[in-house]
Structures are given as structure tokens and as C-alpha cells.
Amino acid sequence: MTLIPVVSLTDCADPNALARQSTRIATLFGSTPTVLPLGGPDPEGAAALTLLDLLRSTDLIGGPSRPVVVLVNIAPRDGHWPNGVPFCYFRHGDHLVITTASRRVLAPLATYLGLTEVQVTDVREVLEAAADGWAELTAAEIEEMVRTQFRSLWYVPLLARWLADGRTVPAEPMAVHPSAEDEVRVAVVDNFGNCKLDRPATELPGYDVEKSLLVHNRLEGRDVRVRCYDRLPDVPLGEPGITVGSSGVGFAELVVRGGSAADTFGLSQGDRVFQLAG
């Protein structure tokens, strides 16, 4: 069995869930995975930026690299699907990605990485095909995995292993489109309190180095002008700034050099910072 590194992004992130997922993935892939919790009030936004960043981190290698398997689980129960949103997969170069079929998570990949299509799977259909072909699964075991609420534990690692092994699993194509949202939001608040936004700095309305933009300070209940800078080191110590950050493809960050922009402006994950239109 080929050993392949696995990185898992999941909002099922309590210690019990993380322990079970890590053990099952390690059992299937032969190495301990990296399992990263997606906490906060807007896990879809955090997943979208983190997945984009993760795939971008496989670029600029300068030579041959090894394939990685990436798993993304966001577990909305919106009532539209009989047991949650289905899982889909696609490949980015040699890397395999299996993710909840969230259009919001996938949209940045369409915009900035050129992703046009994913393959959407049905749990029962895939498990029954595997049982008829290569997997030793009984009807009762299939039914247990079809009915479980913890599909990211029981189903997704199996799907990942089978696809990594080159198995052909049934799936339906789904087109992926760039986001049509006209709001710029905080996608991630990093450990320094920098607010990573979900758009490039150049897409912010009126962004230009040495100019300033209006940002709403939720703590003070008023809009304040924040100057734009090229990089974080250009922001004066103790001052706020809007810079080109380290995420995405030149994505913007709202920062306070030497302090916390999240605390200064009262912002958290998912909060709107700018309106692009209207």
C-alpha cells in the first residue's frame, strides 16, 4: 500500500471526533494524518480560504513533489439533502481533494485556480459499487454507513483510499462557478488578530497604496478611515492598515501592527467588512 500524506479540514472537531477520524485515516493510509479543526462562527468561509491556501502551498516547489490527499468536511443540515450535503472530489495536479459539495467552499477555486467541475458521489451508490468490485462489505455494513450522521468518519476516508488507489467510483459531474457575492468578509482571524479577508486587495472598492478606505468599527459603532499599505512591515507600529496579506492570491488583510485588528474593530469570522456593489 502506498503511503500518502493526508490533511483533513473539519468542523467535526471535538476531541472525540478528532481521535476517531485520525485513527481511521491512519488505519487506511498507514500514517498519522494532519487533522485541522474549523472552528468559529463561519466554518464555510474559513474552509474556503484554507483550502485555497493549502492548494496554493503545493506550488513553487522547484522540482518533483509528492501527492497529498486533502479532506474537507463542513456539516450543514439544511433539510435539502436526506442526510446532509453530498461529498465530491477533484484533482489539483497530482493532489486529490474530497470535500463537502459546498458551492461557497469551491467558488474561490473556480475564481483563482481555474476549477470548473467536481465529481459528486452518493454514499450508497459508491459503497454498493465497492462491495460488488473490490471491498469486503456486507449489506448491513453498507446500511450502517449510509445512515450514519458521521459520514466524514465512515465514508470519506474509504472514498479517499479507493480514489488514491485508482479505483473507479460512480459519480456525477457538477459545474463549479466563481462567487457572485458582493460582500467582502473576514474569512479567518489568525493568531495575531489579523483579519484575513476573502478577496484580493485589488478587488476592494477604492483600494490603492497610500489611500484610505472606510472600515466599520463595531466596537465604536462608527466608520473609520484605514490607510492602505503594500505589506505589513509598511504599517506604522500600533496603527491599523489594509495590506496585501499572505493568503490566497494577494488577498487583503485588515491588520494592526503590533496589535489585534479583530479586537480593535470588534470583528470575527464571517463579518462583512466591505460592500463591492450597491
Q: For 28-43, what is each residue's pLDDT tens digit?
A: 999 899 999 998 889 9
Q: Dump strand ranges (E) for the chain.
A: 6-10, 34-37, 69-73, 87-92, 95-100, 117-120, 172-175, 183-189, 195-200, 212-217, 222-227, 240-244, 251-256, 272-275
CA distance 189 to 211: 24
The cell for 166 is 485508482
Q: What is the pTM of this model?
A: 0.93
- Give percent of the chain with pLDDT exceeding 70: 96
CA distances from 13 to 64, 77, 165 (A): 33, 16, 27
Q: Which of 5-9, 11-15, 69-73, 105-109 has the lowest mean pLDDT?
A: 11-15
Q: What pLDDT was estimated at residue 133?
A: 94
Overall average pLDDT of the 233-258 stretch = 96
Confidence of residue 84 (pLDDT cuts 50, 70, 90): confident
Mean pLDDT across the chain: 92
Domains defined along the chain, listed by start = 6-175 (3.40.50.10790), 183-275 (2.40.30.90)
**Helical (H) or strand (E) element with 114:** none
The cell for 92 is 489539483
Q: For 235-245, what is each residue's pLDDT tens digit?
A: 999 999 999 99
